[in-house]
Amino acid sequence: MSVEQTTQLIQLVLNSVLMVLACAFVLGGLLLRRSVLENRLQATSIEYFQILHRINLPRSTSGGALQTNRLLFLKKRLRHLQNQVKTSRASILGIYYALIVFAVSVFSLSIRSLISAEWLVSGSMTLFIVGVVMLLVSLALVVFDLNKSENPLWQDMRDTLTQGKAEIRKFRGRRVTPLKPHRNVKAS
């Protein structure tokens, strides 16, 4: 391999590795956002079934219209949250696929450094372009999902960050502390 080919190969590997890192960062944010959406979905469905249970009780007649209106609102919100979770799942899946495609691109470039086959470079570039397209489509799904969201973007981000901090605190609370060795105290 000439110096130019080696330089080109290094640049291609760096491009693919940077895209793998970009996918990993975006994936982390999307997984956190999906967690927040699933928590909202769970809380909303619990409230929905509690109100549904109260309405079905024979002795509760007061506030029936208010509870029915709240029930309809929660039903609509449940459908909306379910659609958001589906869209979030599709975008996360797209990011996973892009991550795999970028990893295969790096792998093919690594093989190119061992084997002198020019088709590996063009195949790797094709994989790189496919990965970028998949990443952009996934990001477009996220933007579409954020556009259809009930909450403004800043509120979604705040809720996501708050949820992330709570999960970190919960994880830190589960740490197992090492046991201290017992000292054998001799009776005197």
**180 occurs within a structural domain:** no
pLDDT bucket at 7, cuts 50 / 70 / 90: confident
Whether 187 maps to a domain, the answer reads no
Range(s) of the domain holding residue 122: 3-158
Q: Is the pTM of this model over 0.85?
A: no
Q: What is the pLDDT of residue 175?
A: 54
Whether residue 61 has pLDDT greater than 90: no
Alpha helices by DSSP H, listed for 63-182, are: 64-114, 119-148, 153-173
Q: What is the pLDDT of residues 110-133, one digit of tens each?
A: 888 788 878 888 888 899 999 999
In a domain, 78, yes or no: yes
Indicate whether 101 belongs to any domain: yes
Residue 98 lies in a domain: yes
Q: What is the pLDDT of residue 155?
A: 75
> DSSP code of 118?
T
DSSP 27-63: HHHHHHHHHHHHHHHHHHHHHHHHHHHHHHSTT--TT
Does residue 173 form part of some domain?
Answer: no
d(CA 139, CA 131): 12
- Establish if 64 belongs to a structural domain: yes
Cα-Cα-Cα-Cα torsion 26, 138, 135, 97, nearest 10 degrees, comes to 90
22 in Cβ contact with 135 (< 8 Å)? yes
Nearest of 14, 9, 24, 10 to residue 100 by alpha carbon: 24
Cβ-contact 135, 98 below 8 angstroms: yes
In this predicted structure, what is the pLDDT of residue 188?
47
Query: What is the number of structural domains in the chain?
Result: 1
Tell whether the torsion through CA atoms of 62, 64, 69 and 74 is positive or negative.
positive
